[in-house]
Amino acid sequence: MKMKLTVLGCYGPYPAAGGACSGYLLEAGDCRLLIDCGNGVLSRLQRHLKPWELEAVLLSHLHFDHCADLLVLRYALDHARARDLRRRPLPLHAPPEPSAELKRLLYKDLFEIKPLSPGEPLTLGPFNFSFIETLHSLPCLAMRIETEDGLFVYSGDTEYFDGLAEFAAGADLFLCEANLLEGEGGGTPANHLTAAAAARLAAAAGVKRLLLTHFHPERSQALSLKEARVHFAAVEQVREGETYLITP
């Protein structure tokens, strides 16, 4: 069964006017997962399904531009429970730290918290997940997701680190953050990748297709794309609302 990815939001650390922060709907057959749930994602999600119809939510990490809309998703789940539209808690797979931020999401047992750890595989429906910890200011996980019909890798938020190209190796689709442009950072820890670094990673990993995401709202996406194409030809910038098929 074919995997498809719908981009609900692609900005960080805050959205552009009319945009949304990180959120991606991943589907194969009848299994529908939400990966990250930043500001504005819940509204966009409802163009495709009711939130209580999700199989699970997975978070790369607990920064608010990746999880803020879970605070209001709770109320949608509470509505569904009161009307017997969903009886069981929604599984929420997330890094366990910072524990205070994870506890902030809890409300009326509407989520079933399932801690994620690097090196521990996870199977949800047709999806087989593996995880690696990235280099970021909070514990964050990149995700490698395989089905019988394709391989998808999501970088999460990260600086460059040895091992990420190997983790993404051979992906049919590599969704990679590109929050910065070359020459930025001023010598301080970046916490993010430039578009050029994302493209170099894609080339080193031998991926078939690179999608740039996690754009800063005050930086030019056109410049990001131009910068990336110097290093990797099969690159696009994601478009909010667009659905991408993940095929070999």
Examine the pLDDT at 126 and tell me if it is beyond 70.
yes
pLDDT value for 183 = 75
Packing angle of the helix pair 221-229, 195-205 (nearest 10 deg): 40
pLDDT value for 185 = 56
For the chain, where are the E strands, in sequence order?
A: 3-9, 23-28, 31-37, 56-58, 90-94, 111-115, 122-124, 127-133, 141-147, 150-154, 173-177, 210-213, 235-237, 243-246
pLDDT value for 1 = 77
Structure tokens at 105: 């999401």
Using one digit for the tens of pLDDT, what is the confidence trace for 101-113?
Answer: 999 988 999 999 9
Share of the chain above pLDDT 70, in %: 98
Q: pLDDT category, 184, cuts 50, 70, 90?
A: confident
Share the mean pLDDT of the chain: 96
Q: pLDDT category, 188, cuts 50, 70, 90?
A: low
Please answer whether residues 7 and 242 qualify as being in contact, where contact means their C-beta atoms are separated by less than 8 angstroms. yes
Main-chain phi, psi angles of 146, to 5 degrees: -120, 145
Examine the pLDDT at 133 and tell me if it is beyond 70.
yes
- CATH architecture assignment, domain 3-246: 4-Layer Sandwich (3.60)
Examine the pLDDT at 186 and tell me if it is beyond 70.
no
Q: pLDDT category, 189, cuts 50, 70, 90?
A: low
Q: Distances in Å between the alpha carbon of 172 and those of 25, 50, 74, 224?
A: 17, 29, 34, 21
Phi-psi region of 128 (alpha: psi -120 to 50; beta: other; left: phi over 0): beta
Three-class secondary structure of residue 145 per DSSP = strand
Share of the chain above pLDDT 90, in %: 94
pLDDT value for 213 = 98
**Alpha-carbon distance 160 to 77, whole Å?**
37
**Alpha-carbon distance 190 to 160, whole Å?**
9
Instruction: HSE, CB side, 13 Å, CA atoms: give it for residue 94.
Output: 28
Using one digit for the tens of pLDDT, what is the confidence trace for 17-57?
Answer: 999 999 999 999 999 999 999 999 999 999 999 999 999 99
